[in-house]
Amino acid sequence: MILKIWNWVSSRGISQKHPKENALIRLYNQMSSISAVVILVVMLSAYILNYQTFYFVITVIPFSIFVSIILLHHYLYIYTARFILAFSTPLWTYAAHFLIGGFFSQSLIIAASVSVTYLSFVQRPTQRKRVISVIILAYIAVVIYVEIHGPYLNINEYPYDELVSFLAAGGWMWAVVKIYNNERESLIESLKNKNIKLEQTTEELERFTYIASHDLKSPLRTINSFIGLIERDIRRENFKALPERMQFVKSGAQQMNTLVEDILEISTLKNPNDKKKVEVDLNVVLEKVQANLMEDINSQNAIINTELLPSFYCDEAEFLLLFQNMIQNGIKYNKSEIPTIDISTQKSGNELFISFKDNGIGIEQEYHEQIFQFFKRLHTSDKYQGTGLGLGLCKKIVNSYGGDIEVDSVTGKGSTFRIKLEVEAKSN
């Protein structure tokens, strides 16, 4: 029962609207609830031991503050709660110090308030500096006053207030240091991951620059050259060579169009968090791909063998691209009279394996890693049309689902591409 209440209180204000703030909100809820309980213990102790009524008054104020933090979080007034923590707690401490004196407990609470304020306004450094300056300067002013004139009320000291303040403030500062270290480690890890992604992006951009200066210029030169020849033939009224020259122009335009389409496909791949996943029947995906590649399949007399495929929780458009590129490669890089592609699946625990086996030209061992890099081609465009983006696109799609793709191939005997995917709870 107590654990359920603790979890309920801790989760007040937790929302997907501000995911980066949730850890801090949970911490403040826990600190506030512990502080409120400690204050109640102080009030009850003062009552049982017949200490003066003033202790009830001075403990009601912080109790109200800490309860209001939880309530404000519950109604998603996050920064309002933080300003109250930053100002109200020190103000109560100044009042207690001014009225009844004592330096040890008050200084601990001020230290805790400064720590909490520092963590609360990490995203707002100017405000953080101002708030901390006010807290420290006001505390110094109160200390000077009490040293010169003494506490305002001359009452008996409550024997447990120093101990309670020490435990509460010490707990606050420990929690702040702990979450700050966690946030710092998380930030360092995040920066490392971003650096890796930046390096990968830089490498892709370098390759793109090469493609832009080579593969795009090559068909442009071809088109420009043959258009010049066509213009010359027209002036000379020599029309016999026009069909052949037009075919070269058409081929160059198709090559450019394919490259541009592949680049657009890469740029439109979604971030894993932005994917609109639904349960997709992979048999339906295969039917759509076969319809898209009908011309290639018929012209090459290709055969696609498949067993009954499962469903998978994914973005259908991405898996259409994945299947289409895998099948298209099996047909394109194939010298067999009847290009054959066998598609099979296997499920093991929460992992789904999809295999695409072909009887094509195969891939030498030394190139098994390079073929999945963007713009990496093992053949010239005059031998096999393509841009070198297809397998890189497949790998990017598979990786975005937490999976991996690898190839097992023998030159002249075909290749088998194995895709490993993590099955989510909503997939079958």
Q: pLDDT tens for residues 375-422?
A: 555 444 444 454 456 677 788 888 888 888 888 888 888 889 899 998
- How many Cα atoms within 13 Å fall on the side-chain side of residue 322? 29
Name residue, tokens 């030169």.
Answer: 221
Per-residue b/e over 383-420, b at no fewer than 16 CB within 10 Å?
eeebbbbbbbbbbbbbebbebebebebeeeebbebbbb
* Domain at 272-428, CATH from 3.30.565.10, 3.30.750.200, 3.65.10.10, 3.40.50.10490: 3.30.565.10
Helical axes 161-213 vs 22-48, angle rounded to 10°? 180
Q: What is the pTM of this model?
A: 0.44
Higher pLDDT, 246 or 173: 246
| Alpha-carbon distance values, 302 to 15, 31, 61, 209, 290 (Å) | 53, 68, 81, 35, 11
Tens digits of residue pLDDT in 101-138:
665 566 667 777 777 777 777 777 887 888 888 888 88
Cα distance between residue 357 and residue 341, in whole Å: 5
Helix, coil or strand: residue 279: strand
Which of these, 151, 169, 29, 21, lies nearest to 90 by C-alpha position?
A: 169
β-sheet bridge partners, residue 311? 281
Burial environment of residue 85 by CB neighbours within 10 A (0 to 12, 13 to 18, 19 or more):
buried
**354 pLDDT band (50/70/90 cuts)?**
very high
| H/E run at residue 378 | none
- Quick one: average pLDDT of 352-364? 87
What pLDDT is recorded for position 51? 64
Do the bridges between strand 303-306 and strand 340-348 make them parallel or antiparallel, or are there none, so unpaired? parallel
350 contacts 312 by C-beta, under 8 angstroms: no
- The answer to whether residue 97 scores a pLDDT higher than 80 is no
Each residue's pLDDT tens digit, 150-208: 777 665 555 555 555 666 666 666 666 666 666 667 767 778 888 887 776 676 666 66
